[in-house]
Structure formats: structure tokens, C-alpha cells
């Protein structure tokens, strides 16, 4: 599906309401797209296919089923009209529409609903791109769809139709497309009383309104949905997070822009990789894309390795994590170790760390980072949190004014999950915001607490010698790979404590010049500008802390460089106003201090610029 997976149409309204928060422009944006593939998969239980109706390699149902003989006799030519069953997503009913054949390709027919006005150039672009790029690239990476199809025709039907989803205005979410597995079954296989309708062919549904068939990103929808068709043929029972992850990376393999759902993960990063949310899965779309993109960037460096990996994944009859374990075997890396590196990458994403092991190579992700769970600004400190299995938390700690030894102590409770016990992994990454000293990573050694065998404990000592001004502690929960995750998922979070304490009093130590990556800051602020979620508020707080911390250190050196960088980046963007207010207040405080080395005139000039930005909010 393209964004959404829900239990019933009554849930759709809630989903669409949430999606409204994700788009910011006046036009219907890709950020509001919903894919109905798994809406249908959850709402409609398909009948079990009898053994006599199972396909034989190279033989279609149309060869042996009188019900389909009429389809084989059809000669399809441009301009022909044909009737199709289409699901009304808003009402949950199947309705029949008429569509006109507008393009015929080597691998596809393109039909357009007769009530829709779509330019022939856009239709032909869909047909040519499907034939020349989407079909060969997607089948090359994930395997083949049912071929010959249920109807004995090797071509895939692409039906461009105004999917009825309740869309009324630009603030609404909308269904961009879907694949319905029921179309891969004969109508006679459904009970006589069933209201489900099958088109008895390999068909994808592509929205024409508010989706724009002329837009560049329209082709991403086609690639995404086509992967679902392939995956259904390769492994009908694969779980959502694996199937959706493949559909999220499929457009990238075709040369299209990576899907933007990873930005939504910044607002709600506390998620299990392998637990597909029912009520708000949009950040999950971002996470499963990042997971596959990280695998590509880390170990799949050529087309041969990519195709081998993903074909093994889609064809593996093991579910969920098991499929990835099978696909990873030739690469000498375990799922657990790869997940560990993935979780750290999402918090650090620095090519200088461990020779690029913890960094994305995909260009649009080079500045991507998930916000920390907490921002530790004072020492000593204690935090009590919980983390989901196959999930992670991160704690950003300011150590610029810490000298001597910083001790980080951990205690985590690992209750049983069905037949297994989860375990924790902790990494500490030392960072220097001046980028003079490359980041360093270390891992905790954890042991079972002798007094409580359900707890893992350990500590790590950090030497604070002025070379690094911050550290990030990443807490991960994992489970043994030899236990199928269907036996313990979904699971609630696992609680733990972290204690940060120094062996010397915190000092006010002069430090070198520091900086904030304003490009990354600007991108992050823009992505959360319209969101009112709790996670978005935490993200804003994190960036405010970074700014104030850096500006304060600049001021101690007699510099206003970070303030100037902020003003230049902010321009007239309203999203920067809350940060401008915090900075203005700090500069006003400095101006009123007799001890400040900064000239009152310089401070007032910046305050005036910032207040102008605040007034535009």
C-alpha cells in the first residue's frame, strides 16, 4: 500500500484526518497519499483456494476454466470499452465502472475511466515507462508477477480511475492506488452470498483525482503497486512491513525520487521495525524504506547483489525477519548486527564514523537524523524510559563543561516474550561539533544482574578531556533470531534506567568554536512546521537546545556567528519564529549583562532582525 493499512472503513476517516497534518501546500501533495492495498487485505478475507484450482507453471486458468474463455476471445484495441469492478473505499462497496483502452504496451494495457479527462501524453508516458523501466527493473529485483496471468494474458492492466475515497478539499488525505489480491481469483471461488467482486486478471488501480497523472511522482505509485502484485505471486502471506518495505524501495530502483515518508518518522521514531501499526502506520512506511535503503547502501553495491538479495527476500517462504535472515546469508552479516548498525545510523548518520558504516549514501538522506529521545543538559541525571523490541532510543548529552570521568550506568528489565527473552545493546558515540575530531563509537558490556536474572546491567566510562563536546547514547532492544517473531510480536516496551554522573564538579570550561549544521536544521524545521504532535514538540525542543547551547558558547568567545547563520537561513519562513523568539530573549539577556563582551549595538541589530521574523508568524 502507499501509506495506509487499517482494519475497517470507519478507521479511514481517522487516518485521513491524520494525513491532513502531513501536507502543507494548497495542492494535493504526495505526503497525503494513502494506499488501499492493505485496507482491502484487512477488510476482505479471501477464500482458501482449492488444490484443483492452483496454478501450474506455464499454464493459466484461462486454459482450463470455461469462466475465462470469453476473456481469451477478446481482441483489445485502442478505444475499446470494458467494464471493471472498483472498490469504493469510502463506502466499502464494489461498483462497476466503464473504462476506455487508451494505450497498449508490451507489458501493459492502460485503461482510463470514461468519466475522467487525462491527457494522452500522460497516458503514453505511463505505458512507455512501465514497459521500458518499471516492468523490467521491478521484476528484475523482486521476481515475476503471475505470468501468464489469471486471464491467460501476459499484460498487466493499469486502470486509471477516480478512486472514491471521500476526498473533498486539499486538506484531505486521499487514496493514490492499490492492488487487490481478490482480482487474482475466479469469481466462482467466492461464496454466492459474497459482495466481493473480482476482475479476474492482473490489475492495478491508479488514482486520477486528486493524483495528477502528469506529475513526475505519479510513476512512483505505479512502481510501488506493481511490487505488491509481484510479492503476492512470490509469497502471498508475507507480513506488511516486509512487503511495504519492498514497495517503498522499488521506485528508487526505477530511478525515481525516494519516497518522503522517512520525514514522518522524525515525528514518531519510537517504533518497532517489524510491528506494522494499525492506526498510524505512516512513519512505518518511512522506517521500512530507510531499512532497505540502509541495506542497499551498506552491502548491496551493485545490481547483481541487489537483485540477488531482494529476489531471495520476496521468494523466501519464511515470514518477517526470517526472509531477511535468508537473504543476508551470502553477505556474512546477521540481522541483529545489521539492525544495530541501522539504529545507530538513524541517530548519527556521519560518514566520518567507522569509515562510513553508520551513514547513508543516498543523497537525500545525507542530512537525515532522528531526534534524540531526551536531551541531557545537566549532570548528574537519571532517565527512566522504555524501548520496543527491534526499536531504539537515543540520549544526547552535553559534555562540553564536564571534566574528568563521566560514568553512564544502565539497568534494563528483560521480561519474557513467549518462548524467548529480549536483550539490550547500548552504543556510545562521542561527537565534536567543530568536526576537528572524528566521532568515536563504543559499546557497553552488559551482564545479567546476579540479584535479578531478569535484568541486564552495565556501565561505561567516558574520559571528558575537551576533545568532544557531546555524546549520544543509543539504547536498542533485540530478540534472538532463531525464534520466529510471530511468537512474540506485537510486544510492549521494555523498561530501563540510565544514570549519568561525573567524578568531578561540572566546570565552565572554555571551548573551541562550535557550529550547528544550518542546512540540516532548516530541513528538519520545515518538515515539522505544521505538525502539532507530541513528537514534533520534542523535536523542536531538541533543536532549540542545540541552538541556545551553541549561541551561548559563541557569546563567551565574543562571536555571534551562529545567530547570523540562523538569520540567513530563516529568511521570512514562519516556521523559524519560535526559535527566533528564544534567541532574541537570550540576546536581550546578554545585552542587559554588564559582563558581556559583545557590543550593545551588535546585539540590538540581531534582536531587531529576530523580532521582525517573530512578527511575521
- DSSP tag of 21: G
Q: What share of residues in the chain are helix, strand, coil (percent, to 5)? A: 40, 20, 40
Residue 59: its pLDDT value, please?
52
* Residue/partner pairs of 441-448 with CB below 8 Å, 24 or more apart: 441/344, 441/353, 441/354, 441/358, 444/410, 446/410, 446/412
pLDDT tens digits for 259-312? 988 998 998 898 999 999 877 888 999 999 999 999 999 999 999 999 999 999
pLDDT at 87: 96
Give me the residues of the chain with pLDDT under 70, please.
1-32, 38, 50-74, 506-515, 527-536, 539, 572, 594-596, 616-617
Nearest alpha carbon to residue 323 among 437, 158, 481: 481
Domains of the chain: 9-257 (no CATH), 260-299+334-511 (2.60.120), 518-615 (no CATH)
Residue among 140, 143, 134 at smallest CA distance from 316: 143
pLDDT tens by residue, 375-401 = 998 899 999 999 999 999 999 999 988
pLDDT attached to residue 13 = 37
DSSP-derived 3-state class of residue 12 = helix
Q: What are the grid coordinates assigned to 60, written together?
A: 493459466
Q: What secondary structure does DSSP assign to 433-454, as a single string?
A: TTSSSPPEEEE---EEETTEEE
* Main-chain phi, psi angles of 64, to 5 degrees: -125, -5
pTM of the model: 0.84
Q: What is the pLDDT of residue 545?
A: 78
- The beta strands (E) that lie in 37-161 are given as 81-88, 93-104, 108-113, 156-161
**Nearest-angstrom CA–CA distance, 521 and 546:** 10
DSSP-assigned states of every residue in 280-313: --HHHHHHHHHHHHHHHHHH--SHHHHHHHHHHH
Amino acid at each position: 500500500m502507499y501509506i495506509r493499512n487499517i482494519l475497517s472503513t470507519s478507521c479511514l476517516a481517522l487516518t485521513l484526518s491524520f494525513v491532513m497534518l502531513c501536507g502543507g501546500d494548497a495542492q494535493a501533495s504526495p505526503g497525503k497519499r494513502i494506499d488501499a492495498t492493505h485496507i482491502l487485505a484487512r477488510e476482505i478475507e479471501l477464500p482458501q483456494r482449492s488444490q484443483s484450482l492452483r496454478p501450474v507453471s506455464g499454464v493459466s486458468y484461462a486454459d482450463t476454466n470455461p469462466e475465462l474463455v470469453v476473456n481469451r476471445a477478446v481482441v483489445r484495441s485502442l478505444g475499446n470499452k470494458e467494464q471493471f469492478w472498483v472498490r469504493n473505499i469510502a463506502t466499502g462497496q464494489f461498483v462497476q465502472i466503464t473504462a476506455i483502452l487508451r494505450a497498449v504496451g508490451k507489458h501493459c494495457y492502460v485503461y482510463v475511466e470514461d468519466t475522467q479527462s487525462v491527457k494522452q501524453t500522460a497516458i503514453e508516458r505511463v505505458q512507455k515507462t512501465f514497459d521500458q523501466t518499471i516492468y523490467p527493473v521491478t521484476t528484475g529485483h523482486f521476481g515475476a508477477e503471475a505470468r501468464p496471468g489469471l486471464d491467460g494474458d501476459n499484460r498487466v492492466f493499469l486502470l486509471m480511475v477516480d478512486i472514491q475515497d471521500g476526498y473533498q478539499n486539499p486538506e484531505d488525505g486521499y487514496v493514490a492506488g492499490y492492488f487487490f489480491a481478490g482480482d487474482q481469483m475466479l469469481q466462482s471461488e467466492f461464496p454466492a452470498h459474497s459482495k466481493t467482486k473480482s476482475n479476474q486478471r492482473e490489475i492495478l488501480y491508479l488514482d486520477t483525482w486528486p493524483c495528477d497523472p502528469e506529475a513526475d511522482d505519479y510513476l512512483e505509485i505505479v512502481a510501488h503497486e506493481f511490487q505488491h502484485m509481484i510479492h503476492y505471486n512470490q509469497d502471498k502471506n508475507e507480513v506488511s512491513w516486509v512487503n511495504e518495505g519492498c514497495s517503498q524501495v522499488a521506485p528508487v530502483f526505477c530511478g525515481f525520487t525516494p519516497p518522503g515518508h522517512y520525514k514522518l518518522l522524525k515525528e514518531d521514531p519510537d517504533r518497532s521495525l517489524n510491528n506494522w501499526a494499525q492506526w498510524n502506520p505512516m512513519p512505518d512506511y518511512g522506517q521500512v524504506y530507510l531499512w532497505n535503503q540502509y541495506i542497499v547502501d551498506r552491502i548491496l553495491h551493485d545490481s547483481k547483489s541487489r537483485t540477488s538479495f531482494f529476489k531471495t527476500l520476496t521468494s523466501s517462504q519464511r515470514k518477517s525477519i526470517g526472509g531477511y535472515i535468508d537473504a543476508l546469508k551470502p553477505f556474512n552479516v546477521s540481522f541483529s548486527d545489521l539492525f544495530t548498525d541501522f539504529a545507530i545510523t538513524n541517530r548519527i548518520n556521519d560518514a566520518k564514523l567507522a569509515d562510513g558504516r553508520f551513514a547513508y549514501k543516498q543523497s537525500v538522506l545525507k542530512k537525515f537524523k532522528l531526534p534524540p529521545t531526551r536531551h541531557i543538559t545537566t549532570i548528574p541525571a537519571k532517565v527512566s524510559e522504555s524501548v520496543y523490541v527491534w526499536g531504539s532510543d537515543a540520549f544526547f548529552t552535553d559534555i562540553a563543561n564536564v571534566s574528568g570521568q563521566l560514568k553512564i550506568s544502565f539497568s534494563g528489565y528483560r521480561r519474557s516474550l513467549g518462548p524467548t527473552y529480549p536483550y539490550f545493546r547500548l552504543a556510545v558515540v562521542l561527537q565534536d561539533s567543530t568536526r576537528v575530531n572524528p566521532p568515536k563509537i563504543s559499546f557497553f558490556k552488559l551482564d545479567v544482574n546476579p540479584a535479578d536474572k531478569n535484568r541486564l546491567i552495565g556501565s561505561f566510562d567516558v574520559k571528558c578531556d575537551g576533545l568532544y563536546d557531546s555524546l549520544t547514547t543509543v539504547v536498542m532492544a533485540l530478540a534472538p533470531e532463531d525464534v520466529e517473531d510471530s511468537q512474540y510480536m506485537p510486544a510492549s516496551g521494555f523498561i530501563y534506567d540510565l544514570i549519568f554522573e561525573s567524578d568531578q564538579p561540572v566546570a565552565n570550561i572554555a571551548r573551541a568554536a562550535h557550529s550547528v549544521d544550518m542546512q540540516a536544521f532548516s530541513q528538519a524545521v520545515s518538515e515539522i512546521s505544521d505538525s502539532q504532535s507530541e513528537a514534533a514538540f520534542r523535536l523542536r525542543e531538541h533543536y532549540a537546545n542545540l541552538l541556545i547551547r551553541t549561541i551561548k558558547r559563541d557569546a563567551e568567545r565574543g562571536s555571534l556567528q551562529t545567530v547570523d547563520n540562523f538569520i540567513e537561513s530563516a529568511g521570512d519562513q514562519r516556521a523559524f519564529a519560535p526559535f527566533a523568539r528564544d534567541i532574541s530573549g537570550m540576546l536581550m539577556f546578554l545585552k542587559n549583562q554588564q559582563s558581556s563582551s559583545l557590543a550593545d549595538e551588535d546585539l540590538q541589530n540581531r534582536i531587531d532582525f529576530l523580532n521582525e521574523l517573530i512578527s511575521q508568524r
